Amino acid sequence: MNIPEIDLQRVVIIGGGFAGLNLAKKLNKNHYQVVLLDKNNYHTFQPLLYQVATSGLEPDSIAYPIRRTFKNAANFHFRVTEVYGINATEKTVNTSTGALRYDYFVIATGAKTNFFGMDSLENNSISMKSLVESLDLRSKIIQNFEKALYTKNLKEQEALMNFIIVGAGPTGVELAGALAELKNHVLPKDYPDLDIRRMKIHLVEAAPRILAPMSEVASKKAHEFLKKLGVHIWTNTLVTDYDGTLVTTNGKTDFYSETLIWAAGVKGNPVEGLSEENITRGNRIEVNDFLEVAGKESVFAMGDVALVHSNDTPNGHAMLGSVAMQQGIHLANNFNRLVLDKKRKPFVYNDKGTMATVGRNLAVVDLPKFKFQGFFAWFVWMFVHLMLLVGFRNKVIVFINWAWSYIRFDKGTRLIVRPYKE
């Protein structure tokens, strides 16, 4: 890989997500040469992927070119490449475009979908961890209704119009709410020849309640909101198999559906070259309070792929964007302290709360000291997500899209740009 050699220590970062991007932005580039590697040339705002999938937003409104973020940065280099692994002994990283030397190496490769070893679900369901997958899901949803127009078999038509969402965390809940709004306000106008009342949205959760990581108050209110929108909720229900048409569960209820959306779990996405002792619960890399990987000199991990193991966090922090952003900024500050011969500080997560939106004027927010739901929660959710988007243009476009949808009860991006291939 062609990166110029200069008289500064080189920090190589894998991953342009929340953690990697914030680390690269905050590092003092007068003291370090920063090299950021990613398989895509853009940063994705993952919390809004479900809105791309349900035609609320176009992909370029939640993605931002990484090069534009650092267009005036000195001693910074970005390369689009696949990372194969590291050689900690020689301090090199192996990529699809060649080997690269490092002084410090930071793994911020995020998480990937966890199917818990169920091949049938992995092969037949759709996940939503990237822009490509979100676009696939959008095409799949619209194609289903186009197909439903042509079939005279009611069972086949209902299977095309049944949507099974497995996993009732924030992603599953928000996706279910967005699909319900499509059913209630948009699809009847797009498909007047179809009886949209046949469309069913099933949210399936293995735990006793939805939004299990949030408070019971938030869970209860979100349950009420979804039922009001017409979503069918199945708790204490485990999906065991899916052959592309029949969804099998551990209960008495099975479903016929052409679309199963898997939002039931994620796991860490570490790179090759680490030892088995470095990989812990959830396929994550175990790190200390300084985000260092044990036994690997000058190797760090942060974000979803990292598990900070301490007495306060024996199971690590939740895989949240807020954790990743804080870790990226914290590690950058520690690197900047290092060149000034200042003492590094251990990472302490500042929990600012969690939130989830269910639909128009409906959301739940859990803050450390108080909780609220409904319209004000929905307004707070929108404001926070707008502020966290990268790029002024993206903020404006998303705001305009949301305002248009709110006023017109419409979602304007129902396009099959790239047909979904079964």
Query: Which burial class, exposed, middle or buried, applies to 344 when counting CB atoms under 10 A from its CB (0-12, 13-18, 19+)?
Result: middle
pLDDT at 229: 96
CATH architecture for the domain at 9-39+81-113+266-339: 3-Layer(bba) Sandwich (3.50)
Q: Which residues contact 84 (CB under 8 A, 6 or more apart)?
A: 94, 95, 96, 271, 272
Spatial separation of the C-alpha atoms in residues 237 and 206, rounded to whole Å = 5
CATH class of segment(s) 119-264: alpha beta
Give the residue range(s) of CATH 3.50.50.100 domains in the chain.
119-264
Measured in degrees and rounded to the nearest 5, phi and psi for residue 203 equal -105, 115
pLDDT tens digits, 156-193 = 999 999 999 999 999 999 999 999 999 999 999 999 99
Give the residue range(s) of CATH 3.50.50.60 domains in the chain.
9-39+81-113+266-339
- Element at 140 (helix H, strand E): helix 131-148
Please list the ranges in the chain whose pLDDT falls under 50. Answer: none
Structure tokens at 57: 């937003």
Spatial separation of the C-alpha atoms in residues 417 and 398, rounded to whole Å = 20
Tell me the three state secondary structure of residue 355: strand
DSSP-based helix, strand, coil % in the chain, nearest 5: 35, 25, 40
Spatial separation of the C-alpha atoms in residues 98 and 100, rounded to whole Å = 7
pLDDT at 218: 96
- Residue 398's nearest CA partner among 388, 408, 66, 154 is 388
Query: Which burial class, exposed, middle or buried, applies to 188 when counting CB atoms under 10 A from its CB (0-12, 13-18, 19+)?
Result: middle
Measured in degrees and rounded to the nearest 5, phi and psi for residue 166 equal -100, 120
Structure tokens at 292: 């260092």
pLDDT tens digits, 203-230 = 999 999 999 999 999 999 999 999 999 9
Are 206 and 118 in contact, with CB atoms under 8 Å apart? no
Structure tokens at 61: 């409104």
| Residue 355 bridge partners (DSSP) | 365
Spatial separation of the C-alpha atoms in residues 98 and 88, rounded to whole Å = 16
